[in-house]
C-alpha cells in the first residue's frame, strides 16, 4: 500500500481510538454531558474506516500476525466476544425502563396525558401545534406516530418537553 496512506492511517486510528475510549468510559459511567453520545457513535464509524485503512496500509505485518498462534488466538477471542454480545443474556424485557417505554408507546393518548400531568385536550393541542394529528385519543402513541409518519420517540419528546 502507498506510503501516503501509512502517514495518515495510523495517527487517525490513534486519534479516533482516543475519542472512542474517553467518550466510551464517560458513557459507561453515565456521564452524558455535551454531545458525548453522538460523538461516540460517529467516531465509531470513523474508527471503522481508519482501521480498515490502517490494515490495508500495514497488510504485510498484519498477515504475519495471522501466521502466529497468539495473533490468531487474539483475533478469535475478539470474534467470540463479538458473537456473544448478540446473545440476549438477560432478555430485552428484563430492563424496567424498556418495559415502561414499551407500555407507554402502546398506551392511548388519553392515558399518556394523565402521566404527563395534562388533560387530553391540552396534549392533543400540544401535539397538533407540532404538526401531529391525533385522530382519536383512544389511539396508542404508536398508532399516532405511524399515522403521522413520525417515530414514537419524537411524539414522546413533544409530550414531555
Per-residue pLDDT of 144-156, as tens digits, reads 999 999 988 899 9
Alpha helices in the chain (DSSP H): 3-28, 36-57, 59-65, 69-85, 96-106, 109-115, 120-129, 141-148, 152-159
How high is the pLDDT of residue 96? 81
Per-residue pLDDT of 87-112, as tens digits, reads 877 655 567 887 888 889 899 999 99
All residues at 6 or more sequence positions from 12 whose CB lies less than 8 Å from its CB, including other chains: 46, 50, 53, 54
- Domains in the chain: boundaries: 3-85, 96-159
How high is the pLDDT of residue 38? 95
Residues of the chain with pLDDT under 50: none
Radius of gyration of the chain from Cα atoms?
24
Amino acid at each position: 500500500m502507498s506510503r501516503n496512506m501509512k502517514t495518515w492511517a495510523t495517527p487517525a486510528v490513534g486519534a479516533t481510538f482516543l475519542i472512542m475510549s474517553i467518550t466510551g468510559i464517560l458513557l459507561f459511567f453515565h456521564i452524558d454531558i455535551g454531545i458525548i453520545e453522538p460523538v461516540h457513535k460517529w467516531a465509531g464509524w470513523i474508527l471503522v474506516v481508519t482501521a480498515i485503512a490502517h490494515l490495508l496500509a500495514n497488510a504485510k505485518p498484519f498477515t504475519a500476525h495471522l501466521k502466529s498462534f497468539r495473533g490468531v488466538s487474539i483475533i478469535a477471542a475478539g470474534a467470540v466476544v463479538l458473537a456473544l454480545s448478540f446473545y440476549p443474556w438477560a432478555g430485552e424485557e428484563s430492563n424496567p425502563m424498556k418495559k415502561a417505554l414499551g407500555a407507554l408507546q402502546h398506551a392511548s393518548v388519553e392515558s399518556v396525558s394523565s402521566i404527563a400531568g395534562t388533560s387530553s385536550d391540552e396534549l392533543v393541542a400540544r401535539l397538533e401545534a407540532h404538526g401531529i394529528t391525533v385522530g382519536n385519543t383512544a389511539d396508542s402513541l404508536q398508532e399516532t406516530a405511524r399515522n403521522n409518519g413520525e417515530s414514537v420517540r419524537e411524539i414522546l419528546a413533544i409530550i414531555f418537553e
